[in-house]
Amino acid sequence: VEFFDSHAHVALGAFGGTQVRRARLQRSVAAGVTAVLAPAVGPADGAQLPDVTRACHAETGVALYYALGLHPWALAELDEASCDRWLAQVEDRVAADVDPRLRAVGECGLDFGVARDATQRGRQLTATRRQLELARRTGRPAVLHCVRAHAALIALLDERATPACVLHSFSGSAEIAREYQRRGHYVSFSGSVCRPRIPRLASAVRAVAIERLLVETDSPDQTPWSAHPAVNEPGFLPLVAARVAELRAEPLEAIAAATRHNARVVFGIEDSQ
Ligand SMILES: [Zn+2]
């Protein structure tokens, strides 16, 4: 059984330096997690992703792809000029389309739990709108983070026709999951599904059609319950997939195959890659 981790931050410092990163990805291969999409948080990790993904693929055999963008938490720590400079670089690199590992725009999105006033929310809306425009212009998916802001994000997605995007680490209700999939977007579940009592999230896991379903670790964050207190890594993805399979009453092999296929479709990865 092979798995595709649709979201792991392999170039973040908390994921580990060169040696630790390599060991984590070797364990991923051993666990059957043979492909990973690594989204950028901001300029610091984003600048390293082209080299890190190339080197780690060569050293470990994990097929590593990446996305470039600006996460709402990173946005809060940068001044306007730095945000603007980074987003201009992201636009140039995605539009240039010269690196076959660069598959998506992101991570971007809205976090109204973090942005509490109108100014901070306005900055998130502006940066997300700009990254969605890049996704539209290039036909790439956007990898979206959304906490307590689904109505605002859906309004942004609805401003113009948008390519199929990925709602990462989905934590909303079944109704909200249906709103995204009705628009052709994919819904990705992380280790939060491994917690014992999750009635609302469990209905969301069941509400997503098999052809819109993805699984992820969100490494190095969100270690699945049973792997605590380890730092999260892609090798823990089978725990997430097993819980999704249990909640949907479907075989693990079917979840692994469908989510792997869906990741390749949404990120536009050809069979030869
Ligand atoms: Zn993330």
Distance from the alpha carbon of residue 35 to the mean position of ligand 1, in angstroms: 16
Query: Residues of the chain with pLDDT > 70: what percent?
Result: 99
Task: Please say whether the beta carbons of 134 and 91 come within 8 A.
Answer: yes
Q: Which residues of the chain have pLDDT under 70?
A: 272-273
> How many Å lie between the centroid of ligand 1 and the Cα of residue 145?
7
Q: What is the rounded CA–CA span in Å between residue 34 and residue 173?
A: 30
Q: 241 alpha carbon to ligand 1 midpoint, in Å?
A: 18
The answer to whether the CB of 166 falls within 8 A of the CB of 141 is yes
- Closest Cα partner for 92 from 68, 108, 66? 68
Predicted pLDDT at 153: 98
Backbone angles phi, psi at 227, to 5 degrees: -100, 5
Q: What does the pLDDT read at residue 225?
A: 87
Q: Tell me which residue has tokens 């190095």.
A: 220
Burial 11-35 (b: 16+ CB within 10 A, else e): bbeebbeeeebbebbbebeebebbb
Selection from 237, 185, 190, 192 nearest residue 212 by Cα: 185
CA distance 273 to 100: 9
The helix-helix angle for 118-138 and 80-96 (nearest 10°) equals 10
Distance 216 CA to ligand 1 centre (A): 10
So what's the pLDDT on residue 270?
86
Distance 220 CA to ligand 1 centre (A): 9
Q: From CA 224, how far away is CA 115, in angstroms rounded?
A: 27
Distance separating alpha carbons of residues 190 and 5, to the nearest angstrom: 10
pLDDT in the model for residue 272: 67
Ion ligand 1 — residues with CB < 5 Å: 107
Using the mean position of ligand 1's atoms as its centre, give its distance from the Cα of residue 160 in Å. Answer: 25
pLDDT score for 273: 65
The reported pTM is: 0.97
Using CA atoms, how far apart are residues 245 and 210, in angstroms rounded to an integer? 11
For tokens 């049973």, the residue is 226
Structural contact between residues 145 and 72, judged by C-beta atoms closer than 8 angstroms: yes
